[in-house]
């Protein structure tokens, strides 16, 4: 009974917290801003907050609890699989007040179902899934505000940047990771996994050297200043075609002052470029071109997970056969280990948070910025699709894998095996990268 009570309390707290974060991320915006311009990388925020509640209603209230739809038009308004992106601005959406009433009603009904009796495994699974789905959207709301040049969001509990004795310094150098057979993916004892993490399987990883920290803004500025965007030999064929089409000459939210110094836009404010923070809002093509310029390469996702989850053998030879949930071990994240949950309201210097180092010495592999890998998003061997069939399968082969999480990712859903994925042209997301030495 005590265990059930603790699980239920935690899930109920998550449901309330996710809902509150959704509301806080849009509450200061005007009705016009809630619709926003018609862009291929954004949704109308008014539509998207309704969608997150609809998803919760669909899977928890209708699928698990067999309840009828709260609105006859809910599927026609908010089903993201059935409704093409381009028409979402033209839907007969409820007013802001009616949308708020709908999402609050769904939240309350989910809480009623959760708290009225002991939840079964199916209920627990789908409550977690829908909370994590809302968590992904609140991260998207955050970078949508950046894309649309809205002010930085303000929360009822704003965090403060974590402090460390290494604050204000870079973190240079590589760590050496011995090669071995490695179990890539989630194991069956994990409390919750998405289908693309299923299941742990053996892969052969050769020895490699990985940067201790992500590429910094100062390092990326050196690439830009060396005409990195103008040298076709540094870009793949697809990357060069993207660069020409976008007329890209630097990261999307950078601009150069008359004196040659770089500024970056942080929501609606221009700031001097912080040299030791990780470069952010760069896409896979830009990361690939930087690596070619620097004589480096992107890690594979197997290398990334191995550097994060494995540990050296006690005898000093090779790596141990066990793997950890997080770079620092199995304890959950906290602000001393990882920059998550909007704690710092932006990136922090790459030298901060040594308590979060992996066993091999890589820093900030969880939090701060998502990290592009060289790997294409593909199913693992023996892939088992989840009930939410559209989560992974439609996107296999068309996206690149990112790992680790960003400053606006929720700590409750991350672990070393978590796979994010975006098309290689996306630079609105909170993504940077770290590099590996070229193979000898």
- The beta strand positions in 309-437, using DSSP E, are 370-376, 400-403, 420-422, 431-432, 436-437
Asked if pLDDT for residue 160 goes beyond 60, the answer is: no
Predicted pLDDT of residue 313? 78
Predicted pLDDT of residue 118? 87
Predicted pLDDT of residue 158? 53
Domain residue ranges in the chain: 2-147, 159-440
Residue pair 264/427 in contact (Cβ under 8 Å)? The answer is no
Three-state SS for 344? coil
Tell me the per-residue pLDDT of 229-267, one tens digit each, with 9 for 90 and over.
Answer: 999 999 999 999 999 999 999 999 999 999 999 999 999
Predicted pLDDT of residue 233? 98
As a residue count, the chain comes to: 440
Tell me the per-residue pLDDT of 104-144, one tens digit each, with 9 for 90 and over.
Answer: 999 999 999 999 888 899 999 999 999 999 999 999 999 99
Structure tokens at 393: 């399968």
Close Cβ partners of 109 (under 8 Å, ≥ 6 residues apart): 57, 61, 67, 70
Asked if pLDDT for residue 166 goes beyond 50, the answer is: no
Asked if pLDDT for residue 400 goes beyond 50, the answer is: yes
Residue pair 196/379 in contact (Cβ under 8 Å)? The answer is yes
- State which fold the 2-147 domain adopts: 1.20.120
Q: What percent of the chain has pLDDT over 90?
A: 90
Q: Quick one: average pLDDT of 365-384?
A: 97
Residue 371 β-bridge partners: 403, 432
Structure tokens at 172: 């240079």
Predicted pLDDT of residue 308? 98
- The beta strand positions in 148-214, using DSSP E, are 174-177, 180-184, 201-205, 208-211
* CA trace torsion 191, 7, 110, 116 (10° rounding): 140
Task: Report whether CATH 3.90.1580.10 matches the domain 159-440.
Answer: yes
Average pLDDT taken over every residue of the chain:
94
End-to-end CA distance of the chain: 57
Predicted pLDDT of residue 159? 52
**Taking CA 264 as the corner, what is the angle to CA 342 and CA 148, rounded to the nearest 5 degrees?**
65
Structure tokens at 160: 């403060």
Close Cβ partners of 221 (under 8 Å, ≥ 6 residues apart): 262, 273, 275
Q: Which residue has the higher pLDDT, 302 or 382?
A: 302
Tell me the per-residue pLDDT of 289-327, one tens digit each, with 9 for 90 and over.
Answer: 999 999 999 999 999 999 999 998 776 666 667 899 999
């Amino acid at each position: 009974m005590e265990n059930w009570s603790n699980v239920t309390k935690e899930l109920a707290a998550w449901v309330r917290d996710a809902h509150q974060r959704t509301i806080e991320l849009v509450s200061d915006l005007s009705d016009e801003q809630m619709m926003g311009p018609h862009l291929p990388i954004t949704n109308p925020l008014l539509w998207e907050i309704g969608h997150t509640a609809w998803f919760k209603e669909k899977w928890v209230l209708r699928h698990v609890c067999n309840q009828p739809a709260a609105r006859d038009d809910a599927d026609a308004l908010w089903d993201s699989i059935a409704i093409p992106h381009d028409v979402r601005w033209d839907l007969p959406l409820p007013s802001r007040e009616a949308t708020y009433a709908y999402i609050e009603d769904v939240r309350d009904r989910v809480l009623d179902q959760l708290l009225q009796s002991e939840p079964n495994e199916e209920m627990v699974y789908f409550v977690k899934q829908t909370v994590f789905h809302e968590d992904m959207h609140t991260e998207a709301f955050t970078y949508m505000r950046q894309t649309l040049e809205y002010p930085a969001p303000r929360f009822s509990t704003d965090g403060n940047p974590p402090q460390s004795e290494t604050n204000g310094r870079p973190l240079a150098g590589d760590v050496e990771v011995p090669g071995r057979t490695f179990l890539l993916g989630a194991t069956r004892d994990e409390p919750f996994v998405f289908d693309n993490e299923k299941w742990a399987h053996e892969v052969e990883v050769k020895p490699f050297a990985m940067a201790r920290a992500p590429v910094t803004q100062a390092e990326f500025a050196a690439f830009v200043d060396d005409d990195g965007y103008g040298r076709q030999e540094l870009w793949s064929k697809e990357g060069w075609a993207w660069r020409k089409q976008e007329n890209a000459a630097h990261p999307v939210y950078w601009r150069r002052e008359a004196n040659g110094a770089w500024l970056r836009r942080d929501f609606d404010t221009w700031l001097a470029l912080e040299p030791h923070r990780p470069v952010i809002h760069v896409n896979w093509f830009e990361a690939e071109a930087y690596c070619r310029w620097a004589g480096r390469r992107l890690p594979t996702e197997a290398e990334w997970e191995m550097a994060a989850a494995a540990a050296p053998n006690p005898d000093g030879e090779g790596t141990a056969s066990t793997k950890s949930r997080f770079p620092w071990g199995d304890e959950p994240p906290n602000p001393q280990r990882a920059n998550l949950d909007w704690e710092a309201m932006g990136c922090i210097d790459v030298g901060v948070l040594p308590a979060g180092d992996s066993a091999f010495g890589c820093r900030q592999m969880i939090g701060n910025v998502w990290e592009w890998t060289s790997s294409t998003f593909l199913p693992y061997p023996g892939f088992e699709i989840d009930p939410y069939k559209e989560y992974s399968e439609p996107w296999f082969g068309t996206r690149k894998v990112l790992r680790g999480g960003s400053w606006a990712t929720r700590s409750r859903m991350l672990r070393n095996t978590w796979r994010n994925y975006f098309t290689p042209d996306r630079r609105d997301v909170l993504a940077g990268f770290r590099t590996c030495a070229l193979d000898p």
